[in-house]
Structure 1
Amino acid sequence: MFKTTLDQWFVFKTIVQQKGYSAAAEYLNRSQSTISYSMAKLQSQMGLQLVQMEGKHCVVTASGKRLLEMAQSILSDFEYLEQVANGISNGIEAQIKLSMDNIFPKDVLFQAITQFSEKFPATEVVVDEHIRLLFSDTQNYDLRIATSEDGLIPGPKLLEVRLLPVAHKEHPIFQSEQSSYVLSDLSKYKQIFYKRSFVDDDDSENSVPRRIWSVHSVESAVSAVKANLCFGCLPWHSIKELVESGIVRQIPVEPKLEIDIPLYLVEKNSLAQGPATQYLAQMIKDAASEYQAH
């Protein structure tokens, strides 16, 4: 059995925040005697002086400051627990699973989640990333950001991710006197390749040419190109700063090589969605629309 209660620690926290017993009593809409009794009992049960009066001012002691820091974390967790429970009782999802293609811009994703969290702070968004994600890939999810498959449109289009052929500024490609290349010219150089996350290595190992280096994320591909290990077609939003700084250069290919990958929002069951999932879906659409407009 615990010696103290959450309410006692909450009263202690309020006394410190409001800088006195009287102000804490007014803030909590309780009598000052109730506040004083709660604080006195907490200090007695702990065997420590947590606050002390210096003239008319209430000052937290060193021991009280240390324990208050720990108590605040517990109080925050308990407040969060109550928010989740209250949300569930009102039909609000405790968790949303978002499955996402790794090439989707993270700035767009986090903008959407930030806006979502302001309205549904107690709902957890679990982001599960995969490379070259198809909407039919079997997996448990509530929302999915994926590419199309066999020409089918799985849902509203969010945006298009542009891939550009790039290499490190000191890559052998740029040591040549050629002003531009055709695709066949690049075949002698090692290229980065996005291996599908849902394909077993054994199933795809024999289909990958020796001059291709396979990775499972855009971040790994960018790092490999930045390290001058290979060239690759990388998302513009992931390499913009590297290109603008001159560390990475776009490879001049004729005809011009620019690949636009459309990404769509797939909703597992729009009719059965709760309010939090519906709102997150809308925030993703809004953030993607804003991104595409720029």
Structure 2
Amino acid sequence: MLKSTLTQWQIFNSVIDNGGYLRASAKLNRSHSSLHHAIHKLQTQLGVELIYVEGKQLKLTAVGEVMRRRSLQLLADAEELEELASFAQQGWEPELTIALESMFPKTILTTVLEQFHTKGKGTRLKIDSVILNGAVEAIHAASADLVITPIAPKGHLGTPLTTVRMLPLAHRDHPLVTANAPVDTRELSRFLQIVISDGTDEEKHTEFGWLKSEQRWTVSDFHHARDILISGMGFCWLPENLFTEEIRTGLLRPINGREGLERYVTLHLVVPRPERLGPAGQMLAQLFRSSRSL
């Protein structure tokens, strides 16, 4: 059994905060003698002296200084615990799951998460990275509370959040990059193409972008594709925002095409079951919608 109670620590800190028993008694609406008794009992139960009187001032002992710091944290934790119970009573979700398309800009995501962290009232977040039809599966199965997806399936409303530019990239020494003249799609088809696949059910299987190369390797994410390109093999359409450093240093370079080879992908916010979304989920969804101005 614990030797002390939260009430005793509240009284202890109130006496210190108010500079003595008289002001603390008025603050707590309790008698002077009851507070004095509570502090005396607390020190007796713990077997240590916490405060002493010097002249007309109440001072903390060395042990009292340590106990005050720890007790303040203890009281803050207790208040937070009761607050969480209150939020749960209001329907505030203890945990939310986000299915996040992996090309979603990290700068926007970080801003949204920072805002939610300050307002989320202890709600935990689980973020699952998905690609293409992986987001659609999360919507159909309602396995996530919020889904960021490039594909808004029929029957679900999507809010456009941002548009990602996809560039056809290859290693700086690749023939498609070093060519003296812009290449056309016929020339592209003669080289190894790295394709991003969502790895979902075959009937719903989706591969990204132009698929006319005679040789194709399929990988499960953009970073696997990047590693292959850096080795000097193949070309691939990759999100510009994920590989700005490789592009800036010239390690990977866009292929100069006679036709417009850039692709643009709009990412949407979809709430699979809006009727089940509680206060925390609604707030997080609004933070994502507000991110459109970032």
Q: Give TM-score, length-normalised by structure 1.
A: 0.71
Match of 2:261, SS? coil
Q: In structure 2, what is the equivalent of residue 232 of structure 1?
A: 236
Which structure 2 residue ranges, 5 or more long, are not aligned?
Answer: 207-213
Equivalent pair of 2:195/2:216 in contact (CA under 8 Å): no
- Alignment of 1:243 with 2:247, yes or no, is yes
Question: Residues 1-294 of structure 1: matches in 2 within 5 Å?
Answer: 1-10=1-10, 18=17, 21=20, 25=24, 29=28, 37-50=37-50, 56=57, 58-59=59-60, 61=62, 64-65=65-66, 74-132=74-132, 133-137=134-138, 138-148=141-151, 154-169=157-172, 171-173=173-175, 176-183=178-185, 185=187, 192-199=194-201, 212=217, 214-216=219-221, 218=222, 220-221=223-224, 224=227, 228=231, 231-287=235-291, 289-291=292-294
Equivalent pair of 1:92/1:274 in contact (CA under 8 Å): yes
Cα pair distance change 1:258/1:36, threshold 3 Å: farther
Distance in 2 of aligned mates of 1:188 and 1:50: 82
Equivalent pair of 1:167/1:228 in contact (CA under 8 Å): no
Cα pair distance change 1:175/1:263, threshold 3 Å: closer
Equivalent pair of 1:164/1:235 in contact (CA under 8 Å): yes
Distance in 2 of aligned mates of 1:50 and 1:191: 73
Structure 2 counterpart of 1:61, which letter?
A
Distance in 1 of aligned mates of 2:2 and 2:218: 58
Cα pair distance change 1:22/1:151, threshold 3 Å: same
Equivalent pair of 1:221/1:232 in contact (CA under 8 Å): no
After alignment, is 79-88 or 48-57 more displaced?
48-57
Cα pair distance change 1:5/1:182, threshold 3 Å: farther
Cα pair distance change 1:54/1:164, threshold 3 Å: farther
Distance in 2 of aligned mates of 1:236 and 1:24: 63
Offset at residue 96 of structure 1 (A): 2.3
Offset at residue 156 of structure 1 (A): 2.2
Distance in 2 of aligned mates of 1:23 and 1:187: 87
Which structure 1 residue ranges, 5 or more long, are not aligned?
Answer: none
Offset at residue 2 of structure 1 (A): 1.5
Percent identity (aligned): 25
Equivalent pair of 1:135/1:266 in contact (CA under 8 Å): no
Cα pair distance change 1:19/1:252, threshold 3 Å: farther
Larger Rg: 1 or 2? 2
Cα pair distance change 1:192/1:33, threshold 3 Å: farther
After alignment, is 149-158 or 119-128 more displaced?
149-158
Distance in 1 of aligned mates of 2:192 and 2:24: 71
Q: In structure 1, what is the equivalent of residue 209 of structure 2?
A: none
Offset at residue 284 of structure 1 (A): 0.7
Distance in 2 of aligned mates of 1:247 and 1:100: 27
Distance in 2 of aligned mates of 1:68 and 1:229: 63
Distance in 1 of aligned mates of 2:224 and 2:286: 30
Cα pair distance change 1:187/1:58, threshold 3 Å: farther
Cα pair distance change 1:42/1:285, threshold 3 Å: same
Q: In structure 1, what is the equivalent of residue 210 of structure 2?
A: none
- How many residue pairs get aligned? The number is 279
Equivalent pair of 1:97/1:125 in contact (CA under 8 Å): yes
Equivalent pair of 2:199/2:220 in contact (CA under 8 Å): no
Cα pair distance change 1:108/1:39, threshold 3 Å: farther
Cα pair distance change 1:33/1:228, threshold 3 Å: farther
